[in-house]
Structure formats: C-alpha cells, structure tokens
C-alpha cells in the first residue's frame, strides 16, 4: 500500500512533467505543424519517413523515461540520447532549409522546425532535475 502511494508520488515529479511535455509537444506539434513550405505546399513530417521516425523515437524515449523513475541513471541516459536525437532532427531541418531550392523566392520555414529546440530545452531541464534527485539520494545514503 505504501509502495503504491510512493509510485503515484514519483510520477508527479517535475522531471516527469518535463518528459510528458516533450512527448506531447513532439508528438502532436511535430506531426501536425508543417516544418516548411516548398512552392506553396506545406511539408509535414509524416510525409518523410526519416523525420517521422525521429519524432516517433523522441516521443517513445520520453514516454519510456517517465516510467523509469526507479532507475534514475537509466532515465538520465535516455534523456541524453533523446537530446542527441533532437539535435539530429534539428540538423536535418537546418540542412533542409539551407538546401531547398527556392528560386527567386526564399523557401519559408514552418513552425514545426522549432519543435526540436523546445524539446531540447525541456529535456535539459528534466535531466537537471533527475541529477538533482540522484544527488539528494546519494547525500542521504552518506548519512546512514
């Protein structure tokens, strides 16, 4: 009974909120908002397998990390991997924006291109909170 109450409390930590926001923002906004426009047509991530795979992996890693609250070290590592994945997505978007031929008209960037930046900020905040929890547990173990 006590362990059930502790588990419910652990899901309400701030890093769980950050990770949930990452999964929600990356999942919904990353799939619904266009990341650019080419010749007047909106470009969505679900039209490109590589970008869709990256976004789905980002969402999956964030959701898995939420429920690994008992293993903070693994949660921290998954957060780092997710940050790297978001940097790769951001690099793909920047590469696309620099390489797309727009002719006389400059190709427009969509709001979906900024989703990895928001995710990276939230993941850094989550990892900072996870590290803080880990340091707190270590300090309590030293006192015993």
| Per-residue pLDDT tens digits for 91-101 | 988 888 777 65
* In a domain? residue 115: yes
* In a domain? residue 6: no
| Cβ(112)–Cβ(35) below 8 Å | yes
pTM given for the model: 0.83
pLDDT for the residue numbered 11 = 59
Mean per-residue pLDDT for 56-67? 93
pLDDT for the residue numbered 104 = 43
- Residue partners of 113: CB distance under 8 A and separation at least 6: 35, 36, 93, 97
* In a domain? residue 24: yes
Alpha-carbon separation of residue 36 from 13, 16, 48 (angstroms) = 35, 31, 12
- Asked if residue 43 has pLDDT above 50, the reply is yes
* In a domain? residue 8: no
* In a domain? residue 28: yes
d(CA 74, CA 96): 33
| Cβ(90)–Cβ(120) below 8 Å | yes
- Asked if residue 102 has pLDDT above 60, the reply is no
- Between 6 and 14, where is the model more confident? 14
* In a domain? residue 3: no
Give me the domain span that covers residue 74.
15-143
- Residue partners of 50: CB distance under 8 A and separation at least 6: 92
* In a domain? residue 1: no
* In a domain? residue 7: no
Mean per-residue pLDDT for 106-121? 82
Number of domains in the chain: 1
SS3 140: helix
């Amino acid at each position: 009974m006590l362990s059930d109450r502790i588990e419910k409390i652990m899901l309400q930590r701030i890093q769980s909120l950050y990770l949930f926001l990452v999964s929600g923002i990356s999942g919904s906004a990353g799939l619904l908002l266009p990341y650019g426009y080419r010749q007047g047509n909106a470009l969505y991530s679900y039209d490109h397998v590589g970008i869709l795979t990256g976004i789905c992996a980002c969402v999956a890693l964030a959701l898995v990390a939420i429920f690994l609250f008992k293993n903070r070290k693994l949660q921290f590592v998954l957060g780092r991997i997710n940050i790297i994945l978001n940097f790769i997505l951001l690099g793909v978007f920047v590469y696309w924006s620099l390489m797309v031929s727009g002719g006389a008209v400059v190709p427009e960037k969509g709001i979906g291109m900024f989703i990895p930046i928001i995710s990276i900020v939230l993941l850094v905040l989550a990892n900072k909170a996870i590290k803080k929890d880990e340091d707190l547990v270590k300090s309590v173990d030293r006192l015993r």
